[in-house]
Amino acid sequence: MRPIDADALAKTIIGLPITVEDAYLKLPREVMREALDQCLKAILNAPTVNEWISVKERLPKENTKAIVITEDKQMLVASYTSFGWMYPCYGEEPTHWVPLPEPPEVEG
């Protein structure tokens, strides 16, 4: 099981070209199949929550900051760019990463 960010998934599904209202209009089967395929792809690509991701399994999108664990067990914030991982200290390469959490909402 892979815990996913349901809010991010909902935003992705809402942005798909076929809406729930379309489903009630009884669209042709091939159109509905395409809509289902798009939803399933969105689920599979939904951000993971609170689960370390191996860099061998997948990498973050370019220009994304993440919390990483290196081979020598250091935990730090790093950026993933088109050049690879960028982080403030030299040492071992990251082995796992997780997306940064959303910052809290500040009132006032």
Q: What is the pLDDT of residues 43-94, one digit of tens each?
A: 777 766 667 889 998 899 999 999 999 988 889 999 999 999 988 777 788 9
How far is residue 79's CA from residue 94's CA, in Å, rounded to a whole number?
11
Distance CA 4, CA 46 (A): 6
Q: How many angstroms separate the CA atoms of 41 and 68, rounded?
A: 26
Provide the residue ranges of all domains of the chain, joining segments of one domain with +.
6-44, 53-99
Q: Which residue has the higher pLDDT, 13 or 77?
A: 77
How high is the mean pLDDT of the chain? 79
Residue 37 neighbours by CB under 8 Å, 6+ apart: none
H or E element: which one contains 54? strand 53-54
Whether the per-residue pLDDT at 2 is higher than 80: the answer is no
For residue range 52-63, list pLDDT tens digits in order.
Answer: 889 998 899 999
User: What pLDDT was estimated at residue 25?
Assistant: 64
- Cβ–Cβ < 8 Å for 93, 74: no
pLDDT at 92: 82
